[in-house]
Homo-oligomer: A and B are copies of this chain.
Amino acid sequence: MNKPSPTDQQRPYHHGDLRSALLAAAEKILETEGIQALTLRAAARAVGVSHTAPQNHFDDLTGLLSELAAVGYQRFSAAVQAAAAAVAGADMRTRNRETGRAYVRFARAHPGLFALMYRSERLDVTRPALHAAIGLARQALRQTTPSSDQAAAPPIRLAAVGAARWALVHGFALLLIEGRLEGLMKAVPGGVDPDELLDAVFDVVRVSVDNPDV
C-alpha cells in the first residue's frame, strides 16, 4: 500500500540473507544477555524485521536454537581438530592434553553457545543440521582417543577411558564457565588462572586402560 519513501529505499522487502543475519544476532544476544533473553522476537528486532519473519527460516524457537547449536558444533569440531592436527606427531598424552585445552578454550570463548549445545531440552536433535554437526564433533573428539597403543583391552575399559577423558574435560569446562571453580582457584596462594589449573589437572590425572591401581 505505502510506496517506499525516499528514506527507506535502503530496505528492500526481502532481506537477502535473513537466515544468517538472524543466527548472528542470536549468537550475539546469547553471549551478551544470556539464553533467557534469546527469543525469536528479540532476534527479529535485532535484525530489524517483523517478529514472525524468523518462522520462515527456523519454524519455531527450538529450530533457531538448534540451528545455532549446530553452528556451535561445527566451530567446536574445527577447533578441536585444529588442536589435534597441531600435535599430530606427539604421544597420546600430549594429544589428549592439547585437545582438552581446545575443548575448554572453546567453552570459555563462547560460554553461552557451549551451554546451549549441551542443553538438550531446548534442542531438536533430529534436525538434520544439528544431527550432522553433533556427529562431526563426536568424530573430532573420537579421533583423539584412538588408543592405538593399547589395542586389545577389554571393551568396557576402552569405553571407560573415552568416558573418563570426556567427562573430565567437559566437567571442568562447565564448572569453570558456571564460576564454580572460583573458590578453588582463589584458595591457592598467589592465585591461579583457569589455564594453569587445567594444566595442573592434566598433571595430576592419569587415564589408562592398564591402570595398576585397584
Residues of chain A at the chain B interface (Cβ within 8 Å): 34-36, 93, 118, 120-122, 138, 155-157, 159-164, 166-172, 174-175, 178-181, 183-185, 187-189, 192, 196-197, 200-201, 203-209, 211, 213-214
Q: Interface majority SS on A: helix, strand, loop or mixed?
A: helix
Rounded to whole Å, the gap between the CB of A174 and the closest CB of chain B is 7
16 new A-B contacts at CB < 8 Å, known A159-B188, A168-B171, A205-B211? A36-B121, A118-B178, A155-B189, A159-B184, A159-B187, A159-B200, A160-B203, A160-B204, A162-B184, A164-B172, A167-B172, A171-B171, A171-B172, A204-B208, A206-B208, A206-B213
Selected from B36, B161, B168, B203, the residue in CB contact (under 8 A) with A122 is: B36
In the complex, chain B residues whose CB is within 8 Å of the CB of A196: 156
Copies of this chain present in the complex amount to: 2
Docked Cα-Cα span, A185 to B159, in Å, equals 7
Tell me which of A34, A162, A185 has the highest count of chain B C-beta atoms within 10 A of its own C-beta. A162
Docked Cα-Cα span, A50 to B205, in Å, equals 54
A34 closest partner in B (C-beta): B121
In the complex, chain B residues whose CB is within 8 Å of the CB of A35: 121
Tell me which of A167, A203, A211 has the highest count of chain B C-beta atoms within 10 A of its own C-beta. A167
